Amino acid sequence: MRLGLFGVTALLPSLAAAELFDLARLKWTLTSQNGTFSIPASGPPSQAHIDLVKAGVITEPLLGINDFTERWVINENWTYSADISSFIKSDAFKKSHQTLLVFYGLDTIANITLAGHPVAWVNNQFQQYTFDVSNILSSPKNTELVVAFESAWYYGLNVSSRPDAEHYLTNIRMSDNYEYPGVRQWVRKVASDFGWDWGPAFIPSGIYKPAYFVTLAPGKSTDTIGSPPISPEPPADLNSVTGSIFIEETSIDIYKAGQSFSVAPKQTADWVVNVSLALRSPTPLQSTTLDLAFPELKVSKQFHVTTPSASANSPTWVNAVWTIPDSIPQRWYPHNLATGPKLYNITGTLKSGSATVSFTTRTGFRTTELIQSPYTQKDIEARGITPGDQWHFEINGKAFYSLGTNIIPFDPFYARTTTDQVRWVLESAVKSGQNMLRVWGGGTYQPSDSSVAGGVYDFYSLCDELGILAWSELIFSDSLYPINDFLLESIEPEVRQNVRRVNRHPSIAQWAGGNEVEGIVTDLFSVLDNATFYQNEFVALFQDFLKDIVTSETRSVPYTDCSTTKGVLSLDPYVLRFLNGTPGFIYGNGERYNYDASQAFNYSTFPVSRFMNEFGFHSMPSFYSWEEVLTSPDDFSFNSTVVMSRDHHPPAGNLSFPNPNAPQGQAQMTLAVERWLPTPGTSDSNQTFAQWCWSTQVFQSMAMVSQVAWYRHGAGQGENNLGALVWQLNDIWQGVSWSSIEYSGRWKVTNYGLTGIFSPIAIYPFWTASNETARVLVMSDRWEPVKGNAQLTWYDWHGRELDTSHHAFTVLSLNNSVILEKSGLSNILPVGKAAADVWMLLNVTANVDGKTVTNEQFFTPTSLVEANLIDPKIAVTRHPNLTFTLSAKGGVGAWTWIDHPAGTVGIFVDTKTGQPSNGFFLVPEIDRTLQFQLSPSVSRVTNPDPADFIVRSIWNNTHV
């Protein structure tokens, strides 16, 4: 699509009366190729596994070991068929001049026939398809619509066997070692469907997004729709959904005058609102106008269009470019910066003769930039910056600290994902202080919302509303990729369609070409003599091909080649840096995965990076999540066969079951708990299992909070680190993963931990055991200096206060302040006390944006394995409205934790601070009162019994 300069330019077909017939209204049948199964099926959206469950052929795929026992579904070719007689008999069809068949998503390899005639063969899950089927329906051989899906696994094996297919040596495929290896590079499908180390491999198939017949007929019409492309909910009756002209695609790109991929926006320049619509209509336009308005801003403009004849065989673009003064709109920001998210409705009315179509959608005004230019000599000398390139984001011209996590698919079966489910995850990100989510490039292109382009559920519209930036990626992950023409021909429309659709969302932060691919390429130089060949292929795809597509479709959203990258040598021309750097300089961004738990808090092993886009450690889900999927009492054990079968780290690399490499992942969690926490073991086997699961989460939280603190403190160091995105936020099933939120929506310990360390003002004790050095820092992500007070209090495990110090501080913008620095354990500990007998409570209070912000952390100078813990004898007082007061009647309750019962989803909030709180050190005579805020939309139990809320602490690892 060409981005115009001023006015309206395009070939525009005429407005016409259009009606949508939702294919979900048809009676569908799902049939296996061998004829063994023929069952009633749901209309789109659905997938074969979902319909097989509804028919009782299989049980819920996430139960037990069904990811193994139901593999036969993957190997089968499944056909969806429906009788279209009800559509053929409709007035809409009888009066139509053109009929379109529209699929917003087919998963993935499918042969489509209609009325006995072939329509198309498709092989890309991420494309939307529109076919003119007028001629087919004018001479039908039957009244059947058939979508025959081929097993994506077998298709991948076949296509990768083509003579022109590029083959990669096993030792350089690197991360392509999941259950179904070696084919996903050739299949434009969710990469993790073939397996990943945090989820199952189901390789689903089906019409996984809504689909429609669209009838077009000339005539007088006045229609109002929502956000185009229109995708309404199915009606209650069989009458057609009346719309107007069919809007196949839209793009609303808002940027600054003069801004482009290589030209930074001038913040005082006028806004440019570039609106493009892809239309289908059977007859020419006459005297056509496009009226655009922002009603809240009281600005509007009319654009005149004159076009020659066009047909419904392909879409025609209308492009209106509108200039609005900078001072008129309020800018959109993430929720924790400036004025937060501000959205406006934009309305459009297209008129031609007696026909009119109007639409309304939401958007916002902001600039987002990825800064990759070199630091200046002035920065190096005056600020102490380590030489090299910058790598951080700016919003509306100002650098900020990106705090967040990574998103994976919300469910193995896209068609059953709900907006309520996704909203809860995104709201949880906001509640825990996150302002950026990275949409991982091995999953799917997330939808705008449920009613746009067959989205099924809301995503980017929620990010817009909640004020969360979405770092988004094209779907390429952890592999070298071939560049055969037949693949590139499929990839180009895929990328164009998704970039156009997402343009209107102010929440999108950038497009990355893929996930971790650049590192695979650069690592080849230590393995292969001909590594340059693969680097050149990478350049062709990620530096040139994908970049050119993205930047031709948007001026408002930056592009980078990969999630983990060394950055660029230049933007114009766009040239990647790879390994072309000066020793000692810092380039690009980074990640960290170290599964040696003994190094979890060794800061010398942490990267010194401008930005950390992923780092993590895996943990178990809670006992409550295991109850959802384990089917036998014998399964409730840390190393039971079923539990271990759901640990895919490291992955099997083949179809072996249970995963032969699971003992490595289990051992990593086991050793982490044994080194840093009392080893769970009680007379109650279920309690022991529950404490093991929870203890892996406690360690995960400790490790992630430590890393976030390190990277945040880097904002004031030579690396000028301005980003920390934890791997990962959500779960795709109930199993071992890196998530901070479980599949049901239950928060793990880590999400509460992130709430603390993601606070605008955070305090943290950096303890280096090797040289017995302690540094306590206060860190700020604010744009203005912040003043406050910190209190450091030593306690023994009885809860007796031993020593307290107070420290006033001032933290500069995006910086930190050292409030305590001591060396030598004898100088650090309270006089006469041993490390095993004491711990420190760190509190900070500051005024931020007119509000009082508090933050606390805990420091133990030795592992809790060695600490002389005392029974906390925690008492729980239950109040109305699911409010609980926790009191330590004995010693200090280390990592005191309250669990909500099965079937409930929500968070615990401290009634004093109003902040999420759980997993803290409970001190005698300092009670904590928490209220459980239940989320009814995602809870199966909405009126839980307060008696079912359970309290635990580290003491319960070894005591019933």
- A 10 A CB-CB count for 218 gives 18
- A 10 A CB-CB count for 17 gives 24
386 vs 585: CA distance, rounded Å:
6
Q: Which two tokens stand for residue 297?
A: 């801003």
Angle at 463 (CA atoms; ends 189, 335), nearest 5 degrees:
150
167 vs 428: CA distance, rounded Å:
43
Residues 351 and 363 sit within 8 Å (Cβ to Cβ) = no
- DSSP structure class, residue 330: P
Tell which residue, 37, 21, 310, has the closest CA to residue 145.
Answer: 21
Half-sphere exposure of 897 (CA within 13 A, CB side): 26
Task: Give the ranges where 127-207 is alpha helix by DSSP (H).
Answer: 134-138, 152-159, 170-173
Residue 847: C-alpha distances to residues 350, 655, 786 (Å): 51, 56, 7
Q: Which of 516, 719, 742, 856 is catalytic?
A: 516
- DSSP structure class, residue 860: -
3-state helix, strand, coil in the chain (%, to 5): 25, 30, 45
898 vs 754: CA distance, rounded Å:
17
Which contiguous run of DSSP H or E holds residue 687?
A: helix 685-713
Q: β-strand 883-888 against 928-934: which pairing, if any?
A: antiparallel
Q: Give backbone dihedrals phi and psi of 789, rounded to 5 degrees, phi first.
A: -135, 140
Length of the chain: 960
Annotated catalytic residue 489: no
Q: β-strand 344-352 against 355-363: which pairing, if any?
A: antiparallel
Residues 199 and 732 sit within 8 Å (Cβ to Cβ) = yes
412 vs 916: CA distance, rounded Å:
29
Tell which residue, 294, 301, 321, 272, has the closest CA to residue 7.
Answer: 321
Q: Which residues contact 220 (CB under 8 A, 6 or more apart)?
A: 17, 354, 355
Q: Give backbone dihedrals phi and psi of 498, rounded to 5 degrees, phi first.
A: -75, -35
Residues 635 and 643 sit within 8 Å (Cβ to Cβ) = yes
844 vs 765: CA distance, rounded Å:
12
Residues 624 and 939 sit within 8 Å (Cβ to Cβ) = no
Greatest Cα pair distance in the chain: 96
Q: Which two tokens stand for residue 705?
A: 């909070």
- A 10 A CB-CB count for 914 gives 10
385 vs 716: CA distance, rounded Å:
9
5 vs 2: CA distance, rounded Å:
10
Active site residues per annotation: 516
